[in-house]
Amino acid sequence: MAKIILNDQIDSDIYYLKIAGKYKGSVGQFYMLRGWNSYHPVLGRPFSIFDLDNKSISFIYKTVGEGSNLLSKLKENDNIELFGPYGRGFPQAKGKVALIGGGMGLASLYFTARELKVQSSIEMVHIYLGFKERAILVDLFEKVSHKLIIDIGGFISQKVNINSYDYIFACGPEDMMKAIVRQKRSEKTKIFISLERRMGCGLGACLSCSCKTREGNKLTCKDGPVFPGEDICFE
């Protein structure tokens, strides 16, 4: 059990959850969060590490259903269970890097950008964020990037010159990631995407988050959530 430091509503259906304690985790990994005493829902829910330091771990989540709505009721000093870190995150990058987030996909990119920006092998970190109606967390993302590009109501994938970067890390709707992969012309550009398939156990046991790749079916929770963009067979 861990103690909640804050669980702030930062937009109509979006919350910033900060939990006390020292946790492990690398960029692009996720935790399963369970913050309710009832038997139902049985399983925790997967959320990307938004930020991590020696004293706390943070998540940004949107309320969409039962689990996330239960999480939104939690207050400072309430208990929460978290299991993880799980999954394979983003790989080591170098040179020019673009991080592209659509909607809640931004949740896996803040910690990633913060870690990348201080690495000597990184020339620049550009962040592209696409929102439906309103931008959130702009100040935070500005601090961890050399350039922040925001789009509201359009297609963020159309604002990026994919082939001008060495590495692209993306998370968001699958149509956005498909559009990004399709723009790739240059061999030097390496694209990695983080899939957010509906997940059960998070550990590779229930097989519910299976995804189709060029090498056959893989599990988003264990083999991913981050995959080379070209490996995914988009629907």
Ligand X SMILES: Cc1cc2nc3c(=O)[nH]c(=O)nc-3n(C[C@H](O)[C@H](O)[C@H](O)COP(=O)(O)OP(=O)(O)OC[C@H]3O[C@@H](n4cnc5c(N)ncnc54)[C@H](O)[C@@H]3O)c2cc1C
Q: Nearest to ligand X by Cβ — which residue?
A: 65
CB of 161 to ligand X, least distance (A): 27
**Sign of CA pseudo-dihedral 97, 102, 105, 107:** positive
CB of 96 to ligand X, least distance (A): 26
Cα 164 to the center of its chain, rounded Å: 23
Which DSSP category does 115 fall into? H
Smaller CB distance to ligand X: residue 110 or 167? 110
Cβ proximity of 149 and 126 under 8 Å:
yes
Cis peptide bond prior to 173, omega within 30° of 0? no
Smaller CB distance to ligand X: residue 93 or 109? 109
| Residues 6 or more apart whose Cβ sits within 8 Å of residue 108 | 27, 28, 30, 48, 49, 50, 101, 171, 194
CB of 130 to ligand X, least distance (A): 15
Q: Which two tokens stand for residue 86?
A: 């799980």
CB of 165 to ligand X, least distance (A): 23
CB of 64 to ligand X, least distance (A): 4
Smaller CB distance to ligand X: residue 65 or 216? 65
Q: How many Å apart are CA 148 and CA 208, to the nearest integer?
A: 35
Smaller CB distance to ligand X: residue 11 or 166? 11
Smaller CB distance to ligand X: residue 46 or 165? 46
Q: How many Å apart are CA 107 and CA 183, to the nearest integer?
A: 24
Residues of the shown chain interacting with ligand X in the complex, contacts defined by CB under 6 A: 30, 41, 45-48, 59-62, 64-68, 104, 107, 196-199, 220, 225
Our separate counts of H helices and E strands in the chain read: 4, 15
